[in-house]
Chains A and B, each alone.
Chain A
Amino acid sequence: MTSVMLSDPVVEELVSIVGRDRVFTDPAARFNRARVPAPFPVHRWAEHVPDAVVLPVSAQEVSEVVKLANRHRIPVVPRAGGTGLTDGAVPLQHGIVVDVKLMNKVFELDLEDRTVTVGPGINMMKLNEELRKHDVIYPDDPASYPCSLVGGRIGTSGWSLIGGRYGHTRDLVISFEMVLPTGDIVRVGDGGGKKVRKSSSGYQLKHLFMGHQGTLGIVTEATLELVPRPEAEFAAFFSYEDYESAWRSTGALARSGLATLAGVVLFDEWKIRYLRRDDEAYIPQPDSVKAVVAVAMYGVADEVRPAAKRIMRIGKESGGSYLGDEISQGDWASRHDRYATPLHGRLPDRQVAPMSWHCEDASINWSQLPKVREKWHALVSDLIERHPIFDDWGMFAYTNGAYKPWGDYLTEIDVGIWEQELDDESWEAWVNCKRDIAAVSLEHGGSISACHGSCRAGEVDLVPEELGGGFEVMKKIKKALDPNNIMNPGKYLLDSAYEDGGETL
Chain B
Amino acid sequence: MTQHETKSDGKSAADNGLQTEFVERWRDAAYNCYSSGHKFCREVCPVMQVTRDEAHTPTSFHANIVAMEKGHLSVEDVARDYVHCTQCGACELRCPNTLFTGDFYRFRTRTVEVVRAMRALAVDSGVEQEGWKRWVELTDSYRSEPVMGDVEVSQDHVADWAQGLDIPIGGDTLLFCDCEGAFFRTSTPRAAAKILKAAGVEFGLMREQWCCGGPAAEMGYVEKARSFAEHNIADWRSVGANRIIVFDPHDYISFTEDYPRYFGDDFDFEIVLMVELVAELVRDGKLKLTQPINRTVTYHDACRLNKRKGIHEAPREILRAIPGLTFKDVDHVTQWSYCSGAGAGLGIERPDLTAEISRRRIERAAELEVDALVSACVWSERPLSEQGGKRAEPIEVLDLLELVGQSAGLDDEEVGS
Q: Which residues in A have some Cβ–Cβ distance to B below 8 Å? A: 3-8, 10-11, 24-33, 35-37, 42-43, 45-47, 49, 51-52, 55, 81-83, 94, 99, 101-102, 104, 121, 123, 125-126, 133, 144, 146-147, 278-280, 334, 336-338, 341-345, 352, 354-357, 418-420
Per-position 1/0 for B75-114, Cβ under 8 A of A: 0011001000000000000101101110111010000000
| A421 → chain B closest CB, angstroms | 10
**Contact among B7, B36, B38 for A46, CB-based, below 8 A:** B7
By a CB distance below 8 angstroms, the chain A residues around B2 are 5
Residue of A nearest to B367 (CB): A133
In Å, the complex CA distance between A101 and B57 comes to 13
**Is B37's CB under 8 angstroms from A31's CB?**
no
Q: Cβ of B143 < 8 Å from any Cβ of A?
A: no
Q: Cβ of B305 < 8 Å from any Cβ of A?
A: no
**Is B35's CB under 8 angstroms from A46's CB?**
no
In the A-B complex, the 6 residue pairs with the smallest Cβ-Cβ separation, listed nearest first, are: A37-B37, A101-B52, A342-B35, A356-B35, A337-B96, A49-B6
**Is B32's CB under 8 angstroms from A342's CB?**
yes
| B357 → chain A closest CB, angstroms | 15
Q: Cβ of B279 < 8 Å from any Cβ of A?
A: no
Residue of A nearest to B40 (CB): A146
**Is A342's CB under 8 angstroms from B67's CB?**
no
- Given A337-B96, A354-B28, the answer on whether A32 and B1 have CB atoms closer than 8 Å is no
Q: Cβ of B243 < 8 Å from any Cβ of A?
A: no
- Which residues from 223 to 269 on chain B have a C-beta closer than 8 Å to any C-beta of chain A? none
Q: Cβ of B11 < 8 Å from any Cβ of A?
A: no
Total count of chain B residues near the partner, CB < 8 A: 47
Provide a sorted-by-A list of 10 A–B residue pairs whose CB atoms are within 8 angstroms.
A29-B55, A31-B6, A32-B64, A101-B54, A144-B38, A279-B100, A337-B99, A341-B38, A343-B107, A352-B105
- Given A32-B63, A42-B66, A342-B36, the answer on whether A6 and B1 have CB atoms closer than 8 Å is yes
Q: DSSP majority for the A interface?
A: loop
By a CB distance below 8 angstroms, the chain A residues around B38 are 37, 83, 144, 147, 337, 341
By a CB distance below 8 angstroms, the chain B residues around A27 are 5-6, 8, 72-73, 77
- Given A3-B3, A27-B8, the answer on whether A354 and B43 have CB atoms closer than 8 Å is no
**Is A336's CB under 8 angstroms from B52's CB?**
no
**Contact among A35, A49, A336, A344 for B40, CB-based, below 8 A:** A336
In Å, the complex CA distance between A278 and B70 comes to 31
- Given A31-B73, A32-B64, A146-B43, the answer on whether A343 and B53 have CB atoms closer than 8 Å is no
| A325 → chain B closest CB, angstroms | 19
By a CB distance below 8 angstroms, the chain A residues around B361 are none
**Is A343's CB under 8 angstroms from B64's CB?**
no
Residue of B nearest to A47 (CB): B6
**Is A280's CB under 8 angstroms from B104's CB?**
yes
By a CB distance below 8 angstroms, the chain B residues around A33 are 54
By a CB distance below 8 angstroms, the chain A residues around B81 are 28
By a CB distance below 8 angstroms, the chain B residues around A10 are 1
- Given A341-B97, A342-B31, the answer on whether A147 and B40 have CB atoms closer than 8 Å is yes
| A151 → chain B closest CB, angstroms | 12
Apart from the given pairs A42-B66, A102-B52, A337-B40, 15 other A-B contacts in the complex at a CB distance below 8 Å: A7-B1, A8-B1, A10-B1, A27-B73, A37-B36, A42-B70, A51-B5, A81-B39, A82-B54, A83-B38, A126-B43, A342-B32, A343-B101, A419-B31, A420-B31
By a CB distance below 8 angstroms, the chain A residues around B55 are 24, 28-29, 32
Per-position 1/0 for B13-36, Cβ under 8 A of A: 000000000000000100110111
In Å, the complex CA distance between A337 and B32 comes to 15
In Å, the complex CA distance between A352 and B107 comes to 13
**Contact among B4, B8, B43, B60 for A94, CB-based, below 8 A:** B4
In Å, the complex CA distance between A3 and B59 comes to 29
**Is B77's CB under 8 angstroms from A26's CB?**
yes
**Is A32's CB under 8 angstroms from B43's CB?**
no
Q: Cβ of B304 < 8 Å from any Cβ of A?
A: no
Residue of B nearest to A94 (CB): B4
Residue of A nearest to B48 (CB): A101
**Is A52's CB under 8 angstroms from B1's CB?**
yes
Residue of B nearest to A27 (CB): B77
Q: DSSP majority for the B interface?
A: helix
Q: Cβ of B185 < 8 Å from any Cβ of A?
A: no
By a CB distance below 8 angstroms, the chain B residues around A419 are 31, 34-35
- Given A123-B43, A354-B28, A354-B35, the answer on whether A104 and B52 have CB atoms closer than 8 Å is yes
**Is A355's CB under 8 angstroms from B35's CB?**
yes
In Å, the complex CA distance between A227 and B127 comes to 52
- Given A49-B6, A341-B36, A343-B101, the answer on whether A28 and B1 have CB atoms closer than 8 Å is no
By a CB distance below 8 angstroms, the chain A residues around B96 are 337-338, 341
By a CB distance below 8 angstroms, the chain A residues around B63 are 31-32, 35
| A414 → chain B closest CB, angstroms | 13
By a CB distance below 8 angstroms, the chain B residues around A32 are 54-55, 59-60, 63-64
**Is B43's CB under 8 angstroms from A342's CB?**
no
Q: Cβ of B42 < 8 Å from any Cβ of A?
A: yes
By a CB distance below 8 angstroms, the chain B residues around A338 are 96, 100
In Å, the complex CA distance between A28 and B83 comes to 14
**Is A55's CB under 8 angstroms from B53's CB?**
yes
- Given A28-B55, A32-B60, A354-B28, the answer on whether A147 and B100 have CB atoms closer than 8 Å is no
**Is B39's CB under 8 angstroms from A37's CB?**
yes
Residue of A nearest to B49 (CB): A126
| A144 → chain B closest CB, angstroms | 8
| A279 → chain B closest CB, angstroms | 8
In Å, the complex CA distance between A27 and B12 comes to 13
**Contact among B3, B8, B53, B66 for A5, CB-based, below 8 A:** B3
By a CB distance below 8 angstroms, the chain A residues around B73 are 27-28, 31
- Given A27-B8, A46-B6, the answer on whether A337 and B31 have CB atoms closer than 8 Å is no
By a CB distance below 8 angstroms, the chain A residues around B94 are 146
Q: In this complex, which of B4, B53, B63, B97 has the most chain A Cβ atoms within 10 angstroms of its Cβ?
A: B4
- Given A28-B64, A32-B55, A83-B37, the answer on whether A342 and B97 have CB atoms closer than 8 Å is yes
By a CB distance below 8 angstroms, the chain B residues around A280 are 103-104
Residue of A nearest to B10 (CB): A27
Residue of B nearest to A38 (CB): B37
| A137 → chain B closest CB, angstroms | 16
Per-position 1/0 for B171-212, Cβ under 8 A of A: 000000000000000000000000000000000000000000
In Å, the complex CA distance between A126 and B337 comes to 10
By a CB distance below 8 angstroms, the chain B residues around A99 are 54
| B53 → chain A closest CB, angstroms | 7
In Å, the complex CA distance between A354 and B105 comes to 12
Residue of B nearest to A31 (CB): B67
- Which residues from 90 to 146 on chain B have a C-beta closer than 8 Å to any C-beta of chain A? 94, 96-97, 99-101, 103-105, 107
- Given A29-B55, A355-B35, the answer on whether A278 and B101 have CB atoms closer than 8 Å is yes
Residue of B nearest to A46 (CB): B6
In Å, the complex CA distance between A4 and B1 comes to 11
In Å, the complex CA distance between A336 and B308 comes to 23
In Å, the complex CA distance between A38 and B1 comes to 29
In Å, the complex CA distance between A252 and B42 comes to 39
By a CB distance below 8 angstroms, the chain A residues around B32 are 342-343, 354
Residue of A nearest to B99 (CB): A337
**Contact among B1, B72, B104 for A31, CB-based, below 8 A:** B72
- Given A55-B52, A280-B103, the answer on whether A356 and B36 have CB atoms closer than 8 Å is yes
In Å, the complex CA distance between A152 and B132 comes to 38
| B67 → chain A closest CB, angstroms | 5
- Given A6-B1, A42-B66, A45-B70, the answer on whether A147 and B31 have CB atoms closer than 8 Å is no
| A88 → chain B closest CB, angstroms | 14
In Å, the complex CA distance between A7 and B1 comes to 5
Q: In this complex, which of B7, B52, B59, B99 has the most chain A Cβ atoms within 10 angstroms of its Cβ?
A: B52
**Is B72's CB under 8 angstroms from A83's CB?**
no
**Is B36's CB under 8 angstroms from A36's CB?**
no
